[in-house]
């Protein structure tokens, strides 16, 4: 990617050289999954993807080449299959890359995180490294096919240790609280405005957001609204 992008990297020392970990990052552009692994310390980063991506040779070679691991369609619900696949990769000693928002940001802002990354971290008993990506939405906007020269920054934060929750991995309050803590760290690293709604709902038109949101993840009351399907305003 470097011939096309000027990438500035901060905090790479926070990424383990050998131990397993989760890289949880904001999602602005298709090339996030290329830029971040290209700037980790000489080890692969595996992302989870639909098994459908691997059914055609036209897409199979690309997704396999960039470290996407197919999530099988059979057995359990989609969330459980993704969790099981991620834990298997982590148990092998590797790094899993994941987007807590679940989809690309529709407008460059940071949206409410889903609890999947924390569930995975608690199940595999590994740390989460919050990661902020800046500028990829300008380098390759949604709907384009080739990147343009634009400065990009990748910031790896200090690992988040959730070992205090290993015996409460099914507690909805814990999952929501830890996820809000994670999103706060990503917000600080990326410099994005935070919107306490799910990006997928905004894209579907199910909820509307203000043009100038002021809310941030509420760490004091995180988990008061523990369900992932509910909307909670922080402040």
pLDDT tens digit sequence for 46-83: 988 665 555 666 655 666 666 677 665 555 577 788 88
Q: Rounded to the nearest 5°, which phi and psi values hold at 41?
A: -70, 80
* Per-residue pLDDT, 180: 98
* Per-residue pLDDT, 140: 87
* Whole-angstrom distance, CA of residue 43 vs CA of residue 16: 9
pTM given for the model: 0.82
**pLDDT tens digits for range 1-13:** 446 678 999 999 9
* Per-residue pLDDT, 145: 79
Residue 143 scores a pLDDT above 80: yes
Question: What is the CATH T-level fold of the domain 6-203, as seen in this structure?
Answer: Glycerol-3-phosphate (1)-acyltransferase (3.40.1130)
Q: Where in the chain are the domains?
A: 6-203
HSE toward the beta carbon, residue 2, CA cutoff 13 A: 5
């Amino acid at each position: 990617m470097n011939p096309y992008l000027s990438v500035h990297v901060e905090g790479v020392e926070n990424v383990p050289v050998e131990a397993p970990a989760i890289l949880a990052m904001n999602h602005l552009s298709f090339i996030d999954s290329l830029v971040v692994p290209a700037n980790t310390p000489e080890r692969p980063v595996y992302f989870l993807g639909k098994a459908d991506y691997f059914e055609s040779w036209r897409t199979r070679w690309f997704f396999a080449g960039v470290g996407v691991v197919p999530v099988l369609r059979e057995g359990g619900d989609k969330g459980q299959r993704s969790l099981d696949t991620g834990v298997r990769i982590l148990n092998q000693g590797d790094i899993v890359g994941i987007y807590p928002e679940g989809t690309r940001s529709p407008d460059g802002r940071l949206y409410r995180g889903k609890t999947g990354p924390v569930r995975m971290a608690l199940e595999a008993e590994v740390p989460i490294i919050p990661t902020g990506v800046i500028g990829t939405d300008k380098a390759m906007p949604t709907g384009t096919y080739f990147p343009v020269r634009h400065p990009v920054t990748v910031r790896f934060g200090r690992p988040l240790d959730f070992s205090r929750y290993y015996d409460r991995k099914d507690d909805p309050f814990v999952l929501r609280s830890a996820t809000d803590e994670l999103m706060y760290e990503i917000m600080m690293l990326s410099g994005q405005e935070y919107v306490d709604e799910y990006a997928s709902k905004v894209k579907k038109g199910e909820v509307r957001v203000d043009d100038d949101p002021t809310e941030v993840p509420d760490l004091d009351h995180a988990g008061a609204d523990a369900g992932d399907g509910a909307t909670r305003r922080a402040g």
